[in-house]
Every structure is written in C-alpha cells, then in structure tokens.
Amino acid sequence: MADTKPDKPGFLSRLFGRKAETPAAAQPETQQPAPETPQAGGHPETMPSPPANAADDLTAAPPTVTEASPDTPEEAKAAPELAGADLQPVEGLDPEGTNPQEPLPRILTETGPELRPDITAADLPAPDPAPAEVLPDPVPDAMPAAPRGWWQRLTDGMRRTSSSLSDSVTGLFTKRKLDDATLEELEDALVQADLGVPAAMRITAAIASGRYNKEISPGEVKAILASEVEKALQPVAQALAIDRTKKPFVILMIGVNGAGKTTTIGKLSQKFRQQGLKVMLAAGDTFRAAAIEQLKVWGERVGAPVLARAQGADAAGLAYDALQEAKANGSDVLLIDTAGRLQNKAGLMAELEKIVRVVKKFDPTAPHATLLVLDATVGQNAISQVELFQKAAGVTGLVMTKLDGTARGGILVALAEKFRLPVHFIGVGEGVEDLEPFTARDFAKAIAGLEATS
C-alpha cells in the first residue's frame, strides 16, 4: 500500500479547486544486499562479487525475492529509486514442453581475462567461508494442474490489487449515497493502490459526475473505474514491434537488480522462438555470476545461444562482440542483459551509457529497443527508476513484472500518466507463460475485479 496519504482538502474543493500532484513517495532505504553465492572450485565465471558499501549503493535492495514483496513500508523498505529484489537462478527445465524442436545450440562461453576497469582486486571481498554451489531454484510452475489461460493468470495474478480495491468499493458503496465522504474514501483507496493522485481524482470525478447524492452500486463503480483505467492505459498499450529489416534487432534490457530482467529475457526469447525468430542472448550482467548462469540456463531452455564471459568482464565489450556474433550467425533478435547493480548508482549508469555507446559504434540505429523492467511491488518507487534509467539509457518501453505479488498494481496507471512510455509486456508470475503483451482493457477489467473480458 502507498505509505503516504497526501495531505489534501475535501474532495469537492479539490475537484473544482487546486491541481493535484503526484506524491513522490520514495521509500526509506533499509535493505541490505543479498549475499552472493560464489561457486566453489575456481570456475572462471564465478569470482566473488564486489562489495556493497556506498551510500547510494544499488545493492541496497530488498533481499532475495521469489515471492511477492510485502506492501507495507515497514516490511518492504527499498532504496530510493532503486528498490528491486535479488535474483534467483532459473531451473533449466521446460515444464510446459514448449521448447522448440531443434537441437540446443552450443552456448558460447568465453572466458576473456579482462576485468571491468571499475572492479579492482581491492573491490573484491574474500570468498564466503563456505561458498555454496550456485544452485538453481525449484522450477516455478513445474507441473501446473491444468493449463490456465492468460485471462485466468492475469486475474489471479492481479487478485491482491483488485480485491483490495473491490473491498473498498463494496464497503463504500453498498446502500450508501454518493457524497463527499464516500468520494474521498474512494479516492484514498485508489491512491493506496498506487494509481497516483491525478488518476485517483479523475476516476473519482467520473464516478461523481451526475450521481452526487444518489445511490450507486459497487458494480457501477467498478465499471466506471475499469473504463477510466482503460482510457488512461490505452495510449501506452503498444506491442513491441520487431523490425525485421534490422538483423539483428537489438533489445537492451535494463532495470534494477531483481526486477526480473533475466527472467523476462528468457520469457521473451521463448516467445520470439515460437514466432520462428532466431534469437541470441548476451550475458551482459557481468556483475553477478549467478546472473550469467541463469541466462545460460534460459538459453538452453529456449534454444538460443548465449554469449557469456567471466564475472567482472567488460559488459560493453561483450555486447559489441555479441552483436558481431549475432550478425555473423544470422540472428533475428539479440537480447542483451545488463547489471542491475554495481558498486554504486553512478557506476551502473556509466556502464549502461557505455554499453549504448559501444553498441552504436557497431550499428548507429541500435539498440532498437531499450526495455526497462520494473517490479510492480516497489509501487511509487518505480517512478524514480524510470527517471533514472531514462537518463542513462533512453528507455523506449516498459515491462512490468510481479503484478501477482502486490496490491499496488495501479502503479502502471501512474506511470502511464506521467511518462507515456509504451508498456509492452506485463508479468504475473515466474512461469515462462506468465508474461504477455499488455492490453489496456484486460488490465483495466482485472484491476477493477470485473469478471469477464470482452
């Protein structure tokens, strides 16, 4: 839930009076970095991770999250601008049996000796006393009882947001007249779901219009809510178009650690492969050994070669080489993973800028898409993440993950209103099928808790 309730006058005076502002609800920084799990045995790709210490350190993100982050600020405090979650490796199985039929390609794993210039030996901590093997997570959605359609997954996934809104609406509008107090409470519920003050005010005004002092049913309120949310989201619901004249079409994936970049790359690769596209992956998150391993597993799983190097290798150089390789092997799409955290924010931004610069040297039109992956559970914090990554890498579109883990799914509405960036995909679970192109109507109905889609 939003942790701050804006200080505001009564509904009618606000409706006809002052202009709303979006609350900058940055959350306090309390999270500690999750411990790394360097691999024993001196594998070249598993050097220990650099330490986290700077005040603006990107590692100050919530610890490993496989489940939903809690919504209460006490439980889910995140670094301002950089709330995220640590990653979990992905199991290399194909529970749904949807792997392309062709044999798995060789994984291109290079172990170039060069370290990134910003990581020196002094930065590297001593290995953990008892370093654990990098083990994959249990397979998410390994054996679903019965295949569920997207609408089912979406509504199930959005249940926390929709039931919290639904409960408020039902509580407020059952046998009650629509007056200043109910409208104010409704607006608060919308703000709590992170829709943002401007959208909350607009929706409340739409509900009030012509109905003041009359009874209105919860169903009517939900229908108006869905229609207003759909209106707000329609302009940003844009499919990710792969320009086949660009070969490879280069997609740079960015976002804070744990937002779901690597998982999203895997899920997208699967979709592209199912469309018959030849896909290559670049393990550009050279900051974490586990991220490199995780991407390799996804590559095997979906049938896409992965260019990977040792932890600490220069990510920009790797991206350049991946482009060369993708061009040489006729790939249609190259997806480049990037680090979500470095020693500090400045380091991360510098690395992203460098990757973009270097990629442009190879192809001035690349990257053809720069997708910012946002974790919905961070709520309003997503706003500062967009601002930050826009500056560093020029975001062209958004992917919102973990809508299943939060009652703050309304953040998509706030983002749409503020940035007007295309939203290409949303994720409602860890399974490979839990990411789908974003459609405004389905999302609006799901958030309002309406039953069917049409």
Contacts with ligand GTP by CB under 6 A lie at 65-66, 85-88, 140, 255, 257-263, 285, 288, 291, 340, 373, 401-402, 404-405, 427-430, 434
Residue 253 structure tokens: 């994936």
Shortest distance (Å) from residue 84 CB to ligand GTP: 7
CB 326 within 8 A of CB 280: yes
Q: Which is nearer to ligand GTP, 260 or 305 (CB)?
A: 260
Q: Answer yes or no: is 403 a known binding residue.
A: yes
Q: Report the largest interatomic distance among the alpha carbons of the chain, rounded to a whole angstrom.
A: 73
Q: Answer yes or no: is 341 a known binding residue.
A: yes
SS3 state of residue 316 = helix
Q: Which is nearer to ligand GTP, 155 or 401 (CB)?
A: 401
Q: Which is nearer to ligand GTP, 11 or 425 (CB)?
A: 425
Shortest distance (Å) from residue 351 CB to ligand GTP: 12
Q: Answer yes or no: is 261 a known binding residue.
A: yes
Q: Which is nearer to ligand GTP, 108 or 400 (CB)?
A: 400
52-65: b or e for each residue (b if 16 or more CB lie within 10 Å)?
Answer: beeebbbbbbbeeb
* Distance, CA of 227 to chain centre: 25
CB 258 within 8 A of CB 61: yes
Q: Answer yes or no: is 214 a known binding residue.
A: no
Q: How many angstroms separate the CA atoms of 414 and 38, rounded? A: 39
Q: Which is nearer to ligand GTP, 168 or 311 (CB)?
A: 311
Q: Answer yes or no: is 200 a known binding residue.
A: no
Shortest distance (Å) from residue 438 CB to ligand GTP: 13
Q: Answer yes or no: is 256 a known binding residue.
A: yes
From first CA to last CA, the distance across the chain in angstroms is 29
SS3 state of residue 436 = strand
Shortest distance (Å) from residue 295 CB to ligand GTP: 8
Shortest distance (Å) from residue 327 CB to ligand GTP: 25
Among the listed residues 37, 48, 46, 50, the one whose alpha carbon sits nearest the alpha carbon of residue 109: 46
Shortest distance (Å) from residue 209 CB to ligand GTP: 36
Q: Which is nearer to ligand GTP, 184 or 337 (CB)?
A: 337
Q: Answer yes or no: is 172 a known binding residue.
A: no
Q: Which residues contact 337 (CB under 8 A, 6 or more apart)?
A: 253, 261, 262, 265, 281, 282, 283, 284, 285, 291, 295
Residue ranges for the known binding site for GTP are 255-262, 337-341, 401-404
Residue ranges for the known binding site are 255-262, 337-341, 401-404
